[in-house]
Structure 1
Amino acid sequence: MDQYFNQMEKIIKERKTTSRIRFMLQDVLDLRRNNWVPRRGDQGPKTIDQIHKDAELEEHREQMKVQQALISKKESSGGSGGPHSPGRGVSPQDEGWNTVPISKNRPIDTSRLSKITKVREGGYSGSRPATSTLNRFSALHIHTVSVDRYILQLNSLSRERSDRFDRSDRGSDRFERRDDRDRNQLQVTKRSFSREKEERSREREQRSSADPVRRVASMTEERDRGMKRETAATPPPPQTPTTPALTEEELEKKSTAIIEEYLHINDMKEALQCVQEMNSTQLLFVFVRNGLESTLERSTIAREHMGLLLHQLIKTGILPKEQYYKGLQEILEVAEDMAIDIPHIWLYLAELITPMLHEGGHPMGELFREISKPLIPLGKAGVLLVHILTLLCKGMSHKKAGTMWREAGLRWKDFLPEDIDVNKFVTEKNVEFTLGDESEKDRKKELSATELTRQLDRLIQDKADNQRIFDWIEANLDEQQTSSNMFVRALMTCICQSAIICETPYRVDGEQIKQRAKLLQKYLKDEQKELQALYALQALMVQMEQPANLLRMFFDTLYDEDVIKEEAFYKWESSKDPAEQQGKGVALKSVTAFFTWLREAEDESDNS
């Protein structure tokens, strides 16, 4: 359970989520620390009368606090005169407030306080809306308005002083300029200036009753606008923009944290997301290297989990194969030196690599060839492959593992030093299933056309290159079978099927035929094999119900790529073999234009 709350604390500290979610998570954490006792009990709905009573009680409570604060302040700053001045006069405070002394035993009429509140609320009109008495926080609002009034009085007093000084300066300037003219005129000017000042003071006092509200509202609006401008000027940093690529050192630290967390809680989905969020595809070999290093000396389960994580990263496309091989080869290059401290290092590496052979991972041929590159010069490639095959057989039959080995076109002599006897090595390591016995070889010589077509079609659909298909044919078929008409027809059918673009109308992918041209040329050794290939193409058209113009496109492409020569086309045209007459008439009619063009081209070449 602790790991879930640790994750919640981590989410809160990273501040990658919204404030609302973070606060909700923090509430859960606080509730747990308080033994799941809420700070406030559940409060049911209240009636309007209860709300009114609660609001009045809160207002009265706040007013009592204000009055007590004023009394205590006066008592502490009363001076030699004692806490009360003689008579009922008011005593000015340091900050410009005038308070009426109230004895401690004097009762407070709460009805008057509520009336005062209503008068203040009603007086606020214009830009600041009046506060309803139903507001539970109206007392706080009254206190804020009182502070605003105090600030307003200070501002107005400072303005009056500045106005008086300014006018005095202007009056003195006028007096000095007119001093030489006439003293009588000077007296008139002084009296007029005094009257003018008194009139302006009276007008200011008359307007003072209405101005404070507007000034307070305008000051508050200006403060709000200022805060909005500051908020707009400094927006919070965006959460989603792509972060710059990490350095190798930063990625190494982050990789170590992700791996440790994954091995601790075994959360595959979380680990995949964390690796993807690092946004450093070109440096993921560091993650692979760290993962292999950190689990080499751990438990078998930890190594299997790490291997499964790397397999899922490959399967989902987060980890490119090149980055996986780069990180793995850095470990393999120093594996022999590490064997001094880790005697079973080859078994441990096999436990990390074997999950890659699961569905969606690496083909066996590609994987074994890549991991053997740094090990063949050291003579350790065979040792590692034996461990991988042994572990693989724990999850599948020996027969299936041997089939995968042979279908990949792998040979032990490519991985072992020249001075080692392959048969002896295979026998000692108990991997005879990679060679197959004589009965297996005899059975393969008798493969049916359906089985052969299925195997070839799987290789082509997997987009295997020509060399891989050559290796499979050489490892699984003998020379007699590769020379048979059945093999030629199966190969031709699979390649032509893969080149058909299933649209309306059907079209031929010329690039696919061009890519497989060398494969066809190797096994279409003579005119008879080429004729069998054309028969297979004819049967494919019959199976597809003779699509319009499709056979003509195949003939053009096969001729242009020099897969089938003119003589084989002419021989197919004139063939009367009873076994190959199904669909022959329709096929001939569909390629009439091809043969017309072929003969015209031949006549032109003869004439030239």
Structure 2
Amino acid sequence: SSLMDQYFGRMRSLMNNKELPARIRFLLQDTVELRENNWVPRKAFIDNGPKTINQIRQDAVKDLGVFIPAPMSQGMRMDFFLESPFMPNRMKLDRETLGGLADMFGQMPGSGIGTGPGVIQDRYSPTMGRHRTNPLFNGHSGHIAPQPQSQFDMGPKSFVKSNQVQNQHFLNQNQNHMAQQQVQSKDMPPRFSKKGQLNADEISLRPAQSFLLNKNQVPKLQPQIPTMMPPSTQPPRTQTPPLGQPPQLGLKTNPPPIQEKPQKTNKKPPPAKEELLKMTETVVTEYLNSKNLTEAVNGVREMRAPKHFLPEMLSKIIVCSLDRPDEDKEHASTLIHTLRTEGLITGENFMQAFLSVLDQCPKIEVDVPLVKSYLAQFAARAIIAELVSVAELAHPLENGTHFPLFLLCLQQSAKLKDREWLTDLFQQSKVNMQKMLPEIDQNKDRMLEILEGKGLSFLFPLLKLEKELLKQIKADPSPQSIYKWIKDNISPKLHTDKGFVNILMTSFLQYISQELCVTEQLEQEKQLLLAFKPVMQKFLHDHTELQVSALYALQVHCNASGFPKGMLLRYFVNFYDMEIIEEEAFLAWKEDITQEFPGKGRALFQVNQWLTWLETAEEEESEDEAD
């Protein structure tokens, strides 16, 4: 649970990180909120989730009053007839007996009034039963004979047989009515014949909104209508194909876009790349000569450069200033930073431009030998102006890419501002300096050498301390001289740093180990520890978290020595008796689950009994005080 809380805490911090893309932050927020809602998804996901084909058919019945069965194969599917209310007897319907408006409203959608393009003579339309029983038809449903129950029990074979008879009857009736219907369609008022045709198409062309179909898909649905019926009831192929209608509908909907097209041509196309580069060069040259920042910003704004061109525009600004005096390079930086303030460019655009110019360095170096130093200045000014962060600059330069450019950027930043500011900024960035070096140099000693060579060792004061402190103790092990050396060489800010305490304790422990070559000299070990006690107390007193760091330093030291028998327990007892480390720190170390330092399991095994004693002793003391 605590690990899960840590994961979600991390997700929350990333969720609030404005530098991440919005879609990533939304996904994180969605997951965090999902957990807060006991893993119940949002209502929107439930309502708008995927639907089964049966749910879609049910929606069709609700929204359109149209029943869409599953498409049937050539061999007639029994389950459709057994499950649906559209039995053969219901089809025996005398159109003429209905009279009135039923000729229009009561038509099966497939057999609209008249013949012609788009009209399907489908007397087996599955929608017939639904339309007849609908209250819209003013009680005409009485003409439909109910299906006798016994029909269901006759079995599939007899059902098919009776069905074939029905089909034959309908086919004959179909042929007899063809001529009559054509005459009817001519004599009827146009509004009636139009209505009939629309009914035929509405089956597939006008689905409910829930179907979410595009107009483009409509023609695909049209041919499926005949296949929904038994083959014997499909209209003869000599008739006009039903696909005649959709193209007409398509033509009706197309004209508006055609009318709009001429308007689109009125918009000016964006200038070509070469033209934009020329415009950029003109703006920069004029700006560097006149130093009029407002005019330059307006010039860039009026260019209306597309987003994908912005990195190229910035790299042009940088390159144009490289062969000019230092003052002009600074002005070029000012222009870039102002463009960001005005919202015309982003830090990401600058990084792309910076890397693009870096790739051109071999060419540029012919005319401008110090191009990398100048680029380092551009990067340093961008860091100071908060156009980019140290981490953003470091990422593309990892593993010694363009080495030593990253170090040059840090050098210039310290020069332009100050060391302390840069040290804080660098530590906050969490950049791993070893990763910034070529792979062959990725170790602590080599890193310290390189940093000292570049005058950047101030970024890692603890590395210097680690290297020098043991030498200093060996030279003069008196507590006074050790304390004085630390005060002179280590910033007071670091005195409460866990890393500092770790190095301090490790140096003392290494010195004691080297002094005692024979493990039996326990008394001498205790005396040396007592000698260093004032220095330890000076830095550890009243800082429980630093005392825990001191215990971890002891754990790592014992682990490196292969856990000599009784050594860890001995130190624990001495630290406790000498009041170098307090009870709370011992128990906090026991409970801490940090995996950063090796050997915790073995260490706990060796001192667990003593820690249990300490816990009970502390409880007894608190009980006595309460009494």
TM-score category, normalised to shorter length: 0.3 to 0.5
Bigger RCO (CA 8 Å, 6+ sep): 2
TM-score scaled to structure 1, two decimals?
0.33
Q: Greater Rg, structure 1 or structure 2?
A: 1
